[in-house]
Chain A
Amino acid sequence: MKTLKLNAGKRLNRSWGMDIVLFILIGGVASFMALPLVFTISNAFKPIDEIFQFPPKLLVRNPTFKNFTDLINIFSDSWVPFSRYVFNTFFITITGTVGHVILASAAAYPLAKIKFPGRNVLFSIVVLSLMFTSYVTQVPNYMTISWLGLINTHWAIILPAFGMTLGLYLMKQFMEQIPDALLEAAKIDGASEYRIFWQIIMPIVKPAWLTLIIFSLQNLWTSGSVKFIYSEQLKTVDYVFGQVGAGGLVRTGPMSAVALLMLTVPVTVFIVTQSNIIQTMSTSGLKE
């Protein structure tokens, strides 16, 4: 037996044998998890003969940017300029994310801090709707969106994203830990609820915003525009990148470049916001 020093300086009982077994286990799994990602990165820089090498190699030996330049050439021939798809994707992602963060925060504040009639019912519905996926609502959603006349507009993707349940839930849980005394002081000074929300609550819950941003972005970045958007000019990068693969073997190189490009944005945002996300998630628990 040995004693392990924890961050806080408390000593716990640990056995060496188990430590080693557990660390080997996590090392093994971490490498398995990382493998496809390493492969994605290295594949994007492989020249065509290495991509089709037998037996295939995991790592690239003669890195090249040819896959990326090929990708650019493919798009320079298409009749809708590629920048148009990029614009569409960014428009959907940014508008959807900003709207979601603001609307979900505004709805979370009363749920967390104001004791109004109906609050428990509303929150129960929110928790209940965490329990199923969007697939259950897919068919009626299509109908609603077409009745609202949103088919073939970006709003068909953006508007539903405003109402994502997880965001409201996490935001509400995070706001609950703000001390009531702070809000009461503001009320005594005559601030309205709107002002308290905007000037006191919103700056405090910055970690939660960043968390909502990554979840919303993750959701929207690859939201296929296939279902609701028919016009080629309104399609997203995710969709056209999917089309690159339809070109068959010749397109394998550019496709590897595509896989890497699609990965970069969400991963970068996650790296930047990681500590805030963990902070928010610590309040995510569902009480009995």
Chain B
Amino acid sequence: MIIKTVVEIKKHKQAYVLMAPYFIIFITFTVLPVTMSLLLSFTNFNMLEPPTWAGWSNYTRMFVQDEVFMLALKNTLLFAAITGPVSYMACFLFAWLINEFPPKLRAVLTLILYVPSISGNTYLIWQLLFASDSYGFANAFLINWGFILEPIQWLQDPRYMLGILIIVQLWLSLGTSFLAFIAGLQNVDRSLYEAGAIDGVRNRWQELWFITLPAMRPQLMFGAVIQISIAFAVAEVSMQLLGFPSVDYAAHTVVTHLVDYGTIRFELGYASAIATVLFSIMLLTNLIIQTLLKKVGD
């Protein structure tokens, strides 16, 4: 058995040589850090002294003592529960809708919908839209129409911050999965619809559930993986737009908490524990969603 494997490995020597450069880098910057993070989460480590064993204390501290973490967790879960499903469905809905347009118009609409997710540094525009003085678009609009008299401090008022974060994140959300869905839809075999029509599929909703969705299951799975990791890892928008730390931690998320302990306080053991918890939540959500998606079209 072992000899057979060794012979096989030797036979495919070229395959390993081709893969080596990528996988050395992939292991160094992805696999190794995840493993290290897992191990470090059981230690106290400040980067100056060697790590000391801490057992489960980082985890108990996180769930029992750290109120800010609980707030961050609550924000993240709330945020993911809203933006995850909404952005996932939006990706599919828009891909599905623009699929019926003629190719030229479809390309233009794809561009308009996709551009926000590649535009990168767009915080500036949102900062102007939600500026706290009366020159901000949102305030100017509301004052002009008589809804409010005084400008609202959109980006500093804890009541609005999470909502703004959700809006901006949704605006950014038609990305990779959106493209995968557009491509998936274009590849659905047209004759299936014809066959469906003969079998009694009467409207577009039945067509969607019985034909389109099952045919696109691989893309739907891929899209779910991507959207889940985006929904749970929100941080950039929060830090750039709402400040870091945000007022009253109103827009604090698990990742901003991680950044706080990892790169500012240098409590790397604790930061690693936060990362491990985040990773577990993502993995678990993925497993649940993948199981649910297998039921599509049944």
- Residues of chain A whose beta carbon lies under 8 Å from any beta carbon of chain B: 4, 6-8, 10-15, 18, 22-23, 25-26, 29-30, 32-34, 36-37, 39-40, 43, 52, 54-56, 103-104, 106-107, 109-111, 114-117, 122, 125-133, 135-144, 159-160, 162-163, 165-166, 168, 192-194, 197, 214-215, 218, 221-222, 227, 238, 241-242, 245, 255-256, 258-259, 262-263, 266-267, 270-271, 274-275, 277-288
Inter-chain contact B121/A262, CB cutoff 8 Å:
yes
| Chain A to chain B contacts (Cβ below 8 Å), 16 pairs | A12-B207, A37-B119, A54-B140, A107-B22, A131-B225, A131-B282, A135-B255, A140-B40, A255-B124, A263-B121, A270-B115, A281-B183, A284-B184, A286-B221, A288-B217, A288-B218
Q: How far is the CA of A190 from the CA of B204 in the complex (A)?
A: 53
Chain A residues within 8 Å of B243, by CB: none
Nearest chain A CB to B109 CB, angstrom units: 6
* A33: contacting residue among B25, B171, B283, CB under 8 A: B171
Inter-chain contact A286/B271, CB cutoff 8 Å:
no
Residues of B within 8 A of A (CB-CB), count: 111
Q: Does B89 contact A (CB under 8 A)?
A: no
- Main secondary structure, interface of A, reads helix
A-B contacts counted at CB < 8 A amount to 316
Q: B residues 164-216 with Cβ under 8 Å of A?
A: 171, 174, 176, 179-180, 182-184, 186-187, 190-191, 193-194, 197, 201-204, 207, 216
Chain A residues within 8 Å of B12, by CB: 110, 114-117
Closest residue of chain A to B202, judged by CB? A13
Q: How far is the CA of A43 from the CA of B202 in the complex (A)?
A: 49
Q: Does B278 contact A (CB under 8 A)?
A: yes
Nearest chain A CB to B257 CB, angstrom units: 11
Nearest chain B CB to A24 CB, angstrom units: 11
Question: Known contacts A14-B204, A270-B115: does B122 contact A259 (CB below 8 Å)?
Answer: yes
Inter-chain contact B33/A131, CB cutoff 8 Å:
no
